[in-house]
Amino acid sequence: MLTDMGCRTGAARWLTRYAAWLADNNIRNSKESACAKYFASDAAMQNTVDCVQTMGGYGYMQEYPAKKLMRDAKLLQIYEGTNQIQRLVASGIVLKENPPDKDTGFKFEYEGKDAPQM
């Protein structure tokens, strides 16, 4: 569980830094910022759930911060646009950038001679 928590935290940091770098360089970052927001808040929620589980019964006690951190992490998923809204924003941009094929509904990025035949 601790490895998963570390991986989620690292990935969330890099997504956030990339979105910030794009903004600092005046590059449109709507998709990246939406992805960073929903991924980081989901990672925070899952990490706090794992923390409470790791601590066992102590995770629910007032004397330990895990209970409060889990409540705060849930708020991150709701505040400034729910994660579902952020996913809709990102998916709309992805579909605009990569419109599906009119016949099949799929778009294949690689269409060379070694591409799978349908």
pLDDT of residue 115: 47
pTM assigned to the model: 0.71
Q: So what's the pLDDT on residue 11? A: 97
The rounded mean pLDDT for the chain is 83
Contact status, residue 19 vs residue 60, Cβ threshold 8 Å: no
Which phi and psi angles does 36 have, rounded to 5°? Answer: -65, -40
- Domain ranges for the chain, please list them: 2-97
- Give residue-wise pLDDT tens across range 50-62: 999 998 888 878 8
Annotated catalytic residue, options 80, 97, 109, 111: 80
Amino acid, res. 50:
D
Q: Say if residue 118's pLDDT is above 50.
A: no
Q: b/e per residue, 63-78, with b = 16+ CB within 10 A?
A: eeebbebbeebeebbe
Write out pLDDT tens, residues 63-108: 888 888 988 888 888 877 787 787 888 888 877 877 777 776 666 5
Catalytic residue at 80? yes
- The residue type of 92 is G
d(CA 52, CA 71): 11
Q: What CATH code is assigned to 2-97?
A: 1.20.140.10
